[in-house]
Structure 1
Amino acid sequence: MAVSGVGAISVALFAAVLPAKQSTGALLPLLLVGDVLAVSAYRRHADWPALLRLLPSVAAGVLLGAVFVARVDDAVMRRTIGVLLLTIVAHYLWQRRRTRTASGGSDTTGAPKGRTDTECGTASPGAPTARTQHGRALAFGLVAGFATMVANAGGPAMSLYLLSAGFTMLGFLGTAAWFFLIVNLVKLPFSVGLGLIDRNALVLDALLVLAVPVGAFLGRAAVNRIDQALFERLVLVFTTLSSVNLLR
């Protein structure tokens, strides 16, 4: 999807009409189709060092999520994800406020080609240090891996990680596209083994799959018309709305 955080809305919609575990399995194949389309559109803008920092902790999060799915019921699963996502939003807003205070009230985003200010060698007083970046990658990677395995809800965690790291819009989209293609492929055998993807889920996917390229086209068109500040606000709003829905 062009706006990664908006993907949380699809999680909320599926969970609203299907049991949480069944909705997770039904959504994953559609997400993979969207991932392929996103990579084809934004593959040149990925930040591979950032991806490599995330993947080990994401893998651990996926394993924890698989164990969690096998042990809890739908209600617990939904509410756990909702709480996690709202916590991430609160952390991002706190971190952004602290950064603005340290830099005298100005934003520190805007590094070219998806790179953070620190990576470009132009770090502001509030920009994250290398040690902070690795710590943040560990924390967000665990949450993203866990959330994506449990409810395909890793998008908000990944979105907020990239925003807090100072990624520009295209860097955000390219890095997120590759991230979710890789992670969702890793999740696939776990989802099949846990019984989350069955014949009924595949039939539903066959009925809905044509809507994915339409959504991808609309999303890409929207990206060309949205500035960075509005983009960040949309990610936060959609993340919060979908998280609150999961707490019902």
Structure 2
Amino acid sequence: MDIVISWDLAALAAAAALVGFSKTAVSGANTVSLAIFAAVLPARESTGVLLPVLIVGDVVAVLTYRRHTHWPTLLRLFPAVAAGVVVGTVFMFWADDDVVRTSIGAILLLMAAATVWRRRPGADEALTSLEGRRGRLKARSYGVLGGFTTMVANAGGPVMSLYLISAGFRKLGFLGTSAWFFLIVNTSKVPFSVGLGLIDGRSLLLDAVPALFVLPGAFIGKACVDRIDQRLFERLVIAATVLGGLQLLLF
């Protein structure tokens, strides 16, 4: 891994602060952080550097919103997510940086488009139900995609954000459920990332400075979340997803 200059470290620190903000305010906004890390570092290596930073943000988010977690949703998702992580691990053995970027960017844009389509006036409300056959199929589909994207590029946030929005979660339930989800999923990815050579002593050393900036970002997010109404919250999540997808495809 190349040694980065001070300006690159500053960019990584700013991206880490955005991770903290996304974990406590607008989940999915950390796709911008993903793009920054991938711009400063090679795309594959950036996933190993970013993962510990995300875990720090996950711990803060769990401590902040743990009372608002909807565990039945998590239990419904985890088997499919595990399958997606395994598929993503196999994919990472042969995929180069360009394939990783293009694949994740395309998935994010398709998921955002599907969410907007389902939320149009007059759409069938049954499509957003957590109950029944369609709800189970949707959970499995989003779970596999979420596991795949989080393993390949730490980009599972937008996928799961779109799922929780489509399922009708309000802000606090959304943040509490996603907090525990990503703490469990991201920590479970560590052995896979070590095995792939994405996390090692040098990557952890590089994490030392950016990780410190997660906390101020999280505090800013917590201060802002009560001032964001539900409709704006959902629009910001979808917009962040689209922005992240475009950055991965175009840059």
SS in 2 for 1:4: coil
Q: Report whether the alignment pairs 1:67 with 2:114.
A: no
Following superposition, the deviation at residue 126 of structure 1 comes to 6.6
User: Per-residue displacement from partner, 1:156-190 (whole Å, max 9, x unpaired)?
Assistant: 00000000000000000000000000000110000
TM-score (norm 1): 0.88
Equivalent position amino acid for 2:89 in 1: A
Q: Which residue of 1 aligns with 2:118?
A: 95
Instruction: Determine which of 224, 227, 230 is the counterpart of 1:228.
Output: 230
Question: What are the residue-to-residue correspondences of 1:103-122 with 2, within 5 Å?
Answer: none
Looking at structure 1, the residues matched to 238 and 126 of structure 2 have their Cα atoms a distance apart, in angstroms, of 24
Per-residue CA deviations over 1:116-153 (Å, capped at 9, x if unaligned) read: xxxxxxxx677524222111100000000000000000
C-alpha deviation, 1:41, in angstroms: 0.2
**What percent of counterpart residues are identical?**
58
Corresponding residue to 1:244 among 220, 243, 246: 246
Whole-angstrom CA distance in 2 between matches of 1:33 and 1:226: 24
The residue that corresponds to 1:120 in the other structure is none
The equivalent of 1:17 in structure 2 is 40
| Structure 2 partner of 1:179 | 181
Rounded Cα–Cα distance in structure 1 between residues aligned with 2:118 and 2:212: 39
Q: Write the distance in 1 (CA, Å) between the matches of 2:109 and 2:126.
A: 27
Shift of 1:200: 2.3
Aligned mate of 1:134, from 133, 136, 139: 136
Distance 1:236 1:226, change over 3 A: same
Which residue matches 1:199? 201
Structure 1 stretches of at least 4 aligned residues deviating more than 3 Å after TM superposition: 124-127
Unaligned runs of 5+ in 1: 104-123
Please name the residue that 1:119 is paired with. none
Normalised by the size of structure 2, how large is the TM-score? Answer: 0.87
Partner of 1:162: 164
Q: What is the aligned-residue RMSD (CA, Å)?
A: 1.3
CA offsets 1:53-72 (integer angstroms, 9 cap, x no match): 10000000000000001111
Report the Cα distance in structure 2 between the residues aligned to 1:25 and 1:224, rounded to whole angstroms: 33
* Aligned residue type for 1:29: P
Letter in 2 for 1:158: M
Partner AA of 1:236 in structure 2: I
Give the unaligned 5+ runs of structure 2: 1-22
Partner of residue 42, structure 1:
65
Distance (Å, rounded) in 2 between the aligned partners of 1:102 and 1:163: 15
Within 1, Cα distance between the matches of 2:123 and 2:107?
A: 27
Q: How many residues align?
A: 226
Q: Deviations over 1:164-219 (max 9, x none)?
A: 00000000000000000000011000000100012221111101111011111011
